[in-house]
Amino acid sequence: MPPTPLLSIVIPARDEEYELGATLDSVRAAADGLGQPWECIVVDDGSTDRTGEIARAQGARVIEVELHNIGAVRNAGARAAQGERLVFLDADTRLPAETLRAAWEAMESGAVGGGAWVRFDGIGWLSRVPIALFCFGWQRICGWAAGCFIFAAKQEFDAVGGFDEAYFAAEERFISTALRSRGRFVLLAEAVISSPRKLRLYTTGQILRAAIQTLFRGRQGIQSREGLEFFYDARRETG
């Protein structure tokens, strides 16, 4: 029998056939390099493309749901996870080996969870500067993990009730605050590499406007998908 996984990497995905393969390649390389038993769970949230097929072909366990709530999708993966430690990774985000190792070592030293710096490759400075400033405010000033990469000890994740499914956006704010109330919450200097696809499909202004509106619309304003089409119905690249 294969060893029980100690690490579970959960990837929520909806119509991600263009990005998912490269993300899973990065996950395998990083997790194999860690030297610990691991599993990858792709939670396929009603995809209409080859997302599930690609995930299975690359050895991931696929859970099919129809939830259309990012927190609920991640929670579905966490419930199925066998590992004592969880990593939540977006389907368009590459996971470097040094970042996964830093997250593992943080949990080894007693951290309840945390996040990582986010890097966008292949973008010009006109886009890089305002996005970096927003990320700095979100992570370094507010102390919240970026939603594309969050890690947590499963015991602590379960203790806070997982992601709050009342919210359709900014759920990473609330899980960051909840985990911090349980102990040390770490924001790693090591980065994950997130796809700049939205910068190819939208202007920098449109992206920042959506992010800032979400930040300031209040809790009630993010308790439905209305007005959050940028996050749930964003355009996808196909080639």
- Structural domains in the chain plus CATH codes: 7-232 (3.90.550.10)
Separation between Cα atoms, residue 201 and residue 236, nearest integer Å = 8
C-alpha distances in Å from residue 232, one per residue of 52, 99, 111:
18, 27, 31
> What's the DSSP call for residue 22?
H
Integer angstrom CA distances of residue 229 from 10, 66, 67, 114, 234: 23, 17, 15, 27, 7
Each residue's pLDDT tens digit in the chain (239 positions)? 678 999 999 999 999 999 999 999 999 999 999 999 999 999 999 999 999 999 999 999 999 999 999 999 999 999 999 999 999 999 999 999 999 999 999 999 999 999 999 998 776 766 777 777 877 888 888 899 999 999 999 999 999 999 999 998 889 999 999 999 999 999 999 999 998 777 777 777 777 777 777 767 777 778 877 777 766 777 777 76
Q: Which of 97, 13, 93 is nearest to 56 (CA)?
A: 13
Reported pTM: 0.90
* Backbone CA torsion sign across 24, 2, 36, 6: positive
